[in-house]
């Protein structure tokens, strides 16, 4: 061989232990790359993502939905009367309506919502039959419309949680009270 020529030798064989470790590191890095990029993007745009989720009308995960709860949140926030004070102690003596509502709640929260709405409908029918033609405040009328839309969701078997059914009943009772006072 002359000084100007170089020889390259390539040996193909079993990988050494160090090369095997390096292959595992490359595979792990490739597997973690996209979740890390997604996390960085979420952190960079977190303010925009929070604002976007606040504007969402419905969230679904499997058979769960947050639409009913979000609409109840808006309805409670716009209610013209203050929220009821939290109870200090649970009710000991239950009225017939309340006991029936609790039984329905155990069977189906949607059925409990339909039952609570039936009381509002009865109150509206009484108001319509009155000779003096009592009239509801504009905000109460808007709440009746929104409660009716939520009742329609319950009638369509949309998923409703027990706490949401209880919140619906509380709002329905308060609206019924305003109807009776009109």
* Long-range pairs for 138-144: beta carbons < 8 A, 24 or more residues apart: 139/78, 139/79, 139/80, 140/80, 140/175, 140/178, 140/179, 140/182, 142/78, 143/75, 143/78, 143/79, 143/171, 143/175, 144/120, 144/175, 144/179
Does one domain contain both 106 and 175?
A: yes
Q: Which domain holds residue 44?
A: 18-50
Does one domain contain both 67 and 141?
A: yes
Does one domain contain both 73 and 103?
A: yes
Instruction: Name the phi and psi angles at 89, rounded to 5.
Output: -135, 150
**What is the pLDDT of the chain when averaged over all its residues?**
75
- pLDDT per position as a tens digit, 87-145: 554 343 334 577 788 888 888 888 888 898 988 898 888 888 876 766 778 888 888 88
With contact defined as beta carbons under 8 Å apart, do 176 and 123 qualify? yes
Residue 10 lies in a domain: no
SS3 104: helix
* Lowest model confidence (mean pLDDT) among 11-25, 100-114, 118-132, 149-163: 11-25
Does one domain contain both 40 and 100?
A: no
Does one domain contain both 34 and 101?
A: no
Residue 151 lies in a domain: yes
Residue 92 is predicted with a pLDDT of 36
Residue 70 lies in a domain: yes
Residue 121 lies in a domain: yes
Does one domain contain both 103 and 146?
A: yes
């Amino acid at each position: 061989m002359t000084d100007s020529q170089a020889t390259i030798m390539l040996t193909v064989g079993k990988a050494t232990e160090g090369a095997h470790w390096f292959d595992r590191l490359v595979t792990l890095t490739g597997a973690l790359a996209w979740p890390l990029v997604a996390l960085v993007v979420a952190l960079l745009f977190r303010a925009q993502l929070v604002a976007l989720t606040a504007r969402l009308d419905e969230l679904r995960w499997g058979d769960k939905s947050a639409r009913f709860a979000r609409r109840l949140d808006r309805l409670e926030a716009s209610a013209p009367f203050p929220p009821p004070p939290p109870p200090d102690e649970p009710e000991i003596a239950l009225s017939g309506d309340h006991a029936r509502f609790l039984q329905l709640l155990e069977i189906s929260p949607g059925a409990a919502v339909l039952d609570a709405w039936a009381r509002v409908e009865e109150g509206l029918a009484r108001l319509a039959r009155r000779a003096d033609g009592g009239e509801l405040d504009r905000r109460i009328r808007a709440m009746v419309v929104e409660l009716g839309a939520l009742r329609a969701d319950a009638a369509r078997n949309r998923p409703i949680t027990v706490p949401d059914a209880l919140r619906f009943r509380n709002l329905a009772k308060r609206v019924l009270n305003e109807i009776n006072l009109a």
